[in-house]
Amino acid sequence: MATLLAIVALSLLIIVHEFGHYICAVATGMKVDRFSVFGIGPVVARLGVWRGTEFVISAIPFGAYVHIVGMEADDAPSLAVAEGGRPGEVPEHDPNDPTLYRNRPIWARMLAILGGPLANYLTAMVLGFVALTMVGNEVPLSMRVDNVVEPAAQTAGLLPGDELVKIAGEDVTGRGTQDKILATTAAHKGETVAMVVRREGQEVALDLPLTAEGKIGIQMSPGEVTRETHPVGVAAKTAVLFPIKFSAFQLDALGKWVTGRIEGKMSGPVGIVREIAKSAERGVEAFLEIAIKMSTLLGLFNLLPLPALDGGRFVFLLWEAVTRRRVTPRIEETVHGIGMLALLGLILWVTIRNDLFSHLFG
């Protein structure tokens, strides 16, 4: 069930992306003759025509796509969606039709290209606002021992499941519990301090040697928690800023990964679905959190200046805006075609190597 929910969630984020392209294209006077609201590839079901756009469901049950007429060289409408036409008919095509993508002003084409990523960022912000005002987030009131790492902590008697109550006479529970723990241990580096833990409902006193860096030598996770929502103003500000800050963090990490300063592993669709499913199993808050991050990442990824992506198309538009000369459509189409093949190859390689092989064989 969690896996199915994850597939639907990821598909919805892709549909939102394509809807962003659709609404911006239509709003700027472009002709969109087909919107596959679910799936890619051959059409298996036709849902109807609305305002010149045929809405369909396609054979491969993942994602969605929008066909903006005139984006490719010699691109003509594939459907007779004009008044009196029938789906599947190829209508008369006027290459000077002002509703074709390539005949629209450059600002309109830029907006149509950026519409998808913008829709993902807006979705992340809306989901963030809903999460903060309606669902709320968990606030730890105590920290629990998950794993005892340092031998000295093991010798002192700390056990997984112990809930930290006092360190060196200081109460370390309540709001900001983790900060209290870190501040207290940092003030007693290298010392042996009195510690009180709650174990199976009973308080147990221990004498714990801290490391020279002031560490206990354990891995922790929240123990007692409370859930709180946020005021509308605070939630709105946080929801708007988070996707921006998260994007900056991801770009910084990407730069460090490319230059070899940090290690990392890419995930394909299978790995992404798996992570979303895990979050769904942890509850609504975790599911919303990863949905916000996935929507942001989908928008950010498409903004990268690579062929076949929205960012790659936008680079060509910037070149046209600066030089006032349009790149030959055939050349641009070839660049994006090669980029698409490379992207599909990378996704296939990552899916097999990182998502499937490593999952099955470690």
Q: What is the CATH number of the domain that holds 202?
A: 2.30.42.10
Same domain, 324 and 183: no
**Is 170 found in the same domain as 244?**
no
Domain boundary among 228, 255, 273: 228
Is 179 in the same domain as 292?
no
Over residues 78-132, the pLDDT tens digits come to: 544 444 445 545 455 667 788 888 889 999 999 999 999 999 999 999 999 999 9
For residues 213 and 280, state if they share a domain: no
Per-residue pLDDT at 93: 60
In a domain, 105, yes or no: no
Residue 32 lies in a domain: no
Based on the fold, state whether residues 241 and 351 are members of the same structural domain. Answer: yes
3-state secondary structure of 83: coil
The better pLDDT of the pair 350, 337 is held by 337
The verdict on 220 and 241 lying in the same domain is no
Whether pLDDT at 270 is above 80: no
Whether 18 is a known active-site residue: answer: yes
Residue 128 domain-assigned?
A: yes
Do the domain assignments include residue 102?
Answer: no
DSSP states of 192-258: EEEEEEEETTEEEEEEEEPPTTS---EEEEE-SEEEE---HHHHHHHHHHHHHHHHHHHHHHHHHHH
**pLDDT category of residue 76 using cuts at 50, 70 and 90:** low
**Last-in-domain residue among 212, 228, 244:** 228
Q: Which of 197, 228, 259 is the last residue of a domain?
A: 228
Q: How far, in Å, CA of 317 to CA of 295, rounded?
A: 25
* Owning domain of residue 209: 139-228
- State residue 280's pLDDT score: 64
The pLDDT score that the predictor gives to residue 139 is 85
Average of per-residue pLDDT values in the chain: 83
pLDDT tens for 142-184 read: 999 988 888 888 888 899 999 999 999 999 999 899 899 999 9
**Looking at per-residue confidence, does 261 or 218 come out higher?**
218
Is 47 domain-assigned?
no
pLDDT per position as a tens digit, 274-284: 777 777 677 77
SS (H, E, C) 113-181: HHHHHHHHHHHHHHHHHHHHHHHCEEEECCEEEEEECCHHHHHHCCCCCCEEEEECCEECCCCCHHHHH
Question: Which carries the bigger pLDDT value, residue 122 or residue 75?
Answer: 122
Residue 25 belongs to a domain: no
What are the counts of helices (DSSP H) followed by strands (DSSP E) for the chain? 10, 12
Whether 355 shows a pLDDT value over 60: the answer reads no
Q: pTM, whole model, 2 decimals?
A: 0.75
273 band by pLDDT with thresholds 50, 70 and 90: low
Residues 165 and 275 both lie in one domain: no
CA distances in angstroms from 247 to 22, 194, 207, 296, listed in the order given: 24, 43, 44, 7
Predicted confidence band of residue 266 (pLDDT cuts 50, 70, 90): low
Per the CB < 8 A criterion, the answer to whether 163 and 144 are in contact is yes
Do 253 and 118 fall within a single domain?
Answer: yes
pLDDT for res 232: 92
pLDDT at 267: 65
Per residue in 307-333, pLDDT (tens digit) is: 888 999 999 999 999 998 888 878 878
Confidence of residue 351 (pLDDT cuts 50, 70, 90): low
- Is residue 103 one of the residues assigned to a domain? no
Residues 276 and 187 in one domain: no
Q: Are residues 191 and 308 in the same domain?
A: no
Looking at the structure, tell me whether residues 264 and 129 fall in a common domain: yes
More confident call, 137 vs 215: 215
186 and 236 housed in the same domain: no
Can you give the pLDDT at residue 92?
A: 57
The count of structural domains within the chain is 2
> Among 99-103, 191-195, 201-205, 276-280, whose mean pLDDT is lowest?
276-280
pLDDT band at residue 271, thresholds of 50, 70 and 90?
Answer: low
Is 332 domain-assigned? yes
Task: Please report, rounded to a whole number, the percentage of residues in the chain having pLDDT higher than 70.
Answer: 85
